[in-house]
Amino acid sequence: MKRARSGREAGARRLGPLATCAVLLLPGVSAAAVTLHLDAESRFDTAPALRLTASNMGDEAAHDAVPEVLFQHRTYLGERATLAPGARREWLLSLAAPRDRGTFPAIVRVRFADAHGERGSTPLVTLVRTPDATPSPVSASLRLEPLAGAASGELRLENAGLRPVAGRLAVILPDALHTYPESQPVEVAARGRAMVPLVIQDAGARPGGQYPLFAVLEYTEDGAHHAALAAGTVSVAGNPTRGRVPLLVGLLALSASLALLAVAWRRAARRG
């Protein structure tokens, strides 16, 4: 899910109208759940700054919530906080200015623990533009199917420019999802499009949960860095019995084995 809204002025210049949001819903065995809603807004004055807001829209507290921002191969950390249900927390993180002009992705993960100590994270990707950045001719969009153990998806890239584009595509997911490869080279022809198939694997997703997913293509053209971003949500099939059937079958098999072993013991005792 991606939402655009006007950024605030930062000195004489501001980073374009860029704001991104993501929601992670983690329903537990009971009705209680942690639901983190993230908003990020990036601005650029003499150096870039990222304003990150986390809101807990669920009915269970998110403990030890800490944002991690990966930007230009450096990691920035915010202060830890506990977000009670309905609470909202804002962090303002100063980032190092890129050496080149252009548009760069800032990859955010807010990590937290629920009331049972189970760890989770909500990812978010937002774009940071230098004041002299030019628009990217490449646009990106995602199509994702519901997750039931695995799900297929597709990233669509469209190049409106007159020259082909060659870059690297990265997929950013929460800890409960997995895909391979997470990064791969991609080419898009001039005035053309490219379809990149995706396969999303369940790595501990909760039934009925909704998880944000992001895909970003980075490339260089005319000495400027460009990034095309797509955002989507993966819905997990709501099957509360998932994982119980194999356990039940195993218990029945164990019971049958013990019963046969008891009969064998009785027969051996009679012979003795």
Residue at a domain's end among 133, 165, 181: 133
Same domain, yes or no, for 96 and 153?
Answer: no
Q: How far, in Å, are 53, 82, 124, 248 from residue 88 at the CA level?
A: 7, 10, 17, 42
Both structure tokens of 71: 């930007």
Both structure tokens of 181: 């490869």
Same domain, yes or no, for 250 and 231?
Answer: no
Q: How far apart are CA 173 and CA 227, in angstroms?
A: 18
Which pLDDT tens digit goes with each residue over 208-249? 888 999 999 999 999 999 999 999 999 999 754 444 334 333
**Residue stretches of the chain with pLDDT short of 50:** 1-17, 26-31, 240-265, 267-269, 271
Predicted TM-score (pTM) of the model is 0.77
Same domain, yes or no, for 35 and 127?
Answer: yes
Q: How far apart are CA 188 and CA 139, in angstroms?
A: 11
Same domain, yes or no, for 145 and 128?
Answer: no
According to DSSP, the β-strands at 74-77 and 19-27 are unpaired
Residue at a domain's end among 117, 133, 149: 133
Overall domain count for the chain: 3
Same domain, yes or no, for 180 and 111?
Answer: no
Same domain, yes or no, for 162 and 222?
Answer: yes
- The domain of 90 spans 1-133
Max CA distance (Å), the chain: 98
Same domain, yes or no, for 102 and 145?
Answer: no
List the alpha helices (DSSP H) in 69-210: none
Nearest to 175 by CA among 202, 151, 149: 202
Q: Residue 86 has what pLDDT?
A: 94
Same domain, yes or no, for 83 and 51?
Answer: yes
DSSP 17-84: S-EEEEEEEEE-SSS-EEEEEEEEEEEESSSEEEEEEEEE-SSS-EEEEEEEEEETTEEEEPPPEEE-
Q: Residue 4 has what pLDDT?
A: 32
Q: Residue 97 has what pLDDT?
A: 95
Same domain, yes or no, for 2 and 127?
Answer: yes
CATH of residue 202: 2.60.40.10
